[in-house]
Amino acid sequence: MTGRYPDQVVGPQPVTPEQRSAYAYLSAVTERPTAQLWDLVDAVGPVEATDRIRRRQVGDALIDQTEARHLQVDGDQLMDAAHEVDARLLVPGDPGWPDWALLPLDRPRGRRRDTSGGVPTALRPLGLWWRGPVEPERALSRAVAVVGTRAPTAYGRAVTADLSAGVAVEDFTVVSGGAFGIDAAAHRAVLGVGGTTIAVLAGGVDRLYPRGNDGLLREVARTGAVISEQPPGTGVTRYRFLDRNRIIAALGSATVVVEAAARSGALSTAAWAAALDRPVGAVPGPVTSVASVGSHLLIRDRGAVLVGRAAEVVELAGGMGETADPIRGDASSWDGLDDITRRVLEALPTRGGLAPGEVAASAGIPPNTARAVLGRLMSTGVVIRGPQGWRRSGTGGVQMSLPVD
């Protein structure tokens, strides 16, 4: 990470107790890490940010966002509650704090903003409550997310176990969501081979959820880690599950979906991974199985790589790091494009996003054609499929002029 404010610099200088307590406060004072909150923390640091929020010396948006909790939250008290379950708070500046800054959505101007007026979720959490003996720096240096439906088939469970155990013995940490079904099968298989697994919960790390996985999650906390961006005492809600999925996607260098129905939450994790430019893998199954519909959708339409063996997951999570950025398109590369491709590019916005059907309507071409062209352009890096839909990627990228042959 980078130290963009005076009181936190990279390197030997450790996080002070005062800073940590401030992050604890900040992690709880809004429901989600908002763009405005991060702007403030980036500008003045966590201690001063906490102070300003308490004294109401912040902008209108932050006033609103922190209205309900600014007096009620107590950072030290949250830290004490965490210590009761042997959990601690990992914050920016700690060894192992994930390098969120490298993620495109977390760039100062690239942070996700909801133009509809709602409060968007910033990518970076303000802290990760960490319950478990495994060191973040080691555990997250080589990690893959394995997720899927809560209602898998026997085939899905078996493949999950094979893949998870297989990557665990290759020293990958397996990150999942602690849920029933595929998640539980992944955690269990890793525990079975003595590997490292991390469960990212939607609620507090002192409230192991779901209760039916209590024993499993205790074992994960005993050997690996049960983590959450939500402070101790927080219960689960639907949107906390969705927010949680971005943490799972961001911690893995790749995300693998084993089985997922058409509307599975695993698809939201995969969408986050794709938005973060992380490779997504999906395990195919019979086309007659509803539990594989989501996986097939990912492979067919969303650029996921078909994976079926642990070695293929290792390649996805480890090997892709060695390939550099995709070829970037720029204005001059529009020369020579065929007419349909040009119309698709012209139909795309540079911010926000459109559904393929909207692109098709705007370009005056059939939806299937639009989808085919979008897929082709995505693979060149010219267009991006973000959470809001398809858009053109930034221009630029012409930095070298190398001889041919």
Which stretches does DSSP call E strand in 107-236? 128-131, 143-147, 173-176, 197-200, 225-228
Binding to its own copies by residue 380, rule CB under 8 A?
yes
Judged by beta carbon, residue 22 or residue 348, the one nearer its own copies is 348
- Least distance (Å) between residue 387 CB and its own copies: 23
- Least distance (Å) between residue 73 CB and its own copies: 45
Are 198 and 187 in contact, with CB atoms under 8 Å apart? no
Judged by beta carbon, residue 187 or residue 392, the one nearer its own copies is 392
- The residues in 319-378 that bind its own copies, with binding defined as CB under 8 A, are 319-320, 322-328, 330-342, 346, 365-366, 368-369, 372-373, 375-377
Among 7, 64, 86, 315, binds its own copies (CB under 8 A): 315
Binding to its own copies by residue 400, rule CB under 8 A?
yes
- Cα–Cα distance between 44 and 229 in angstroms, integer? 22
Binding to its own copies by residue 306, rule CB under 8 A?
yes
Write out the H or E segment, with its range, that includes residue 249: helix 238-251
- Least distance (Å) between residue 316 CB and its own copies: 9
Are 370 and 362 in contact, with CB atoms under 8 Å apart? no
Q: How many CB atoms lie within 10 A of CB 318?
A: 17
b/e sequence 129-161, b meaning 16+ C-beta within 10 Å: bbbbebebeebbebbbbbbbbbebbebbbebbb
Alpha-helical regions (H) of 88-146: 136-140
- Least distance (Å) between residue 402 CB and its own copies: 6
Q: Regarding beta strands 128-131 and 87-90, do their DSSP bridges make them parallel or antiparallel, or are they unpaired? A: antiparallel
Among 59, 133, 286, 357, binds its own copies (CB under 8 A): 286
Among 81, 283, 354, 360, binds its own copies (CB under 8 A): 283
Q: Which stretch binds its own copies (CB under 8 A): 55-63, 206-214, 226-234, 288-296?
A: 288-296
- Least distance (Å) between residue 337 CB and its own copies: 6
Judged by beta carbon, residue 26 or residue 377, the one nearer its own copies is 377
Which stretches does DSSP call E strand in 295-404? 305-306, 383-386, 389-392
Judged by beta carbon, residue 60 or residue 331, the one nearer its own copies is 331
Ramachandran category for residue 149: left, alpha or beta (phi over 0 → left; psi -120 to 50 → alpha): beta
* DSSP code, position 323: S
Among 92, 309, 352, 353, binds its own copies (CB under 8 A): 309
Binding to its own copies by residue 288, rule CB under 8 A?
yes
Binding to its own copies by residue 299, rule CB under 8 A?
yes
- Cα–Cα distance between 62 and 248 in angstroms, integer? 27
Judged by beta carbon, residue 12 or residue 336, the one nearer its own copies is 336
Number of residues that bind its own copies (CB under 8 A): 62
Judged by beta carbon, residue 19 or residue 292, the one nearer its own copies is 292
Q: Which two tokens stand for residue 303?
A: 């650029």
- Least distance (Å) between residue 401 CB and its own copies: 5
Using DSSP, state whether 373 is helix, strand or coil.
Answer: helix
Write out the H or E segment, with its range, that includes residue 36: helix 35-54
- Amino acid making up residue 219: E
- Amino acid making up residue 396: G
Binding-site ranges for its own copies (CB under 8 A): 155, 158-159, 283-288, 292, 296, 299-300, 305-309, 312, 315, 319-320, 322-328, 330-342, 346, 365-366, 368-369, 372-373, 375-377, 379-380, 397-402, 404-405
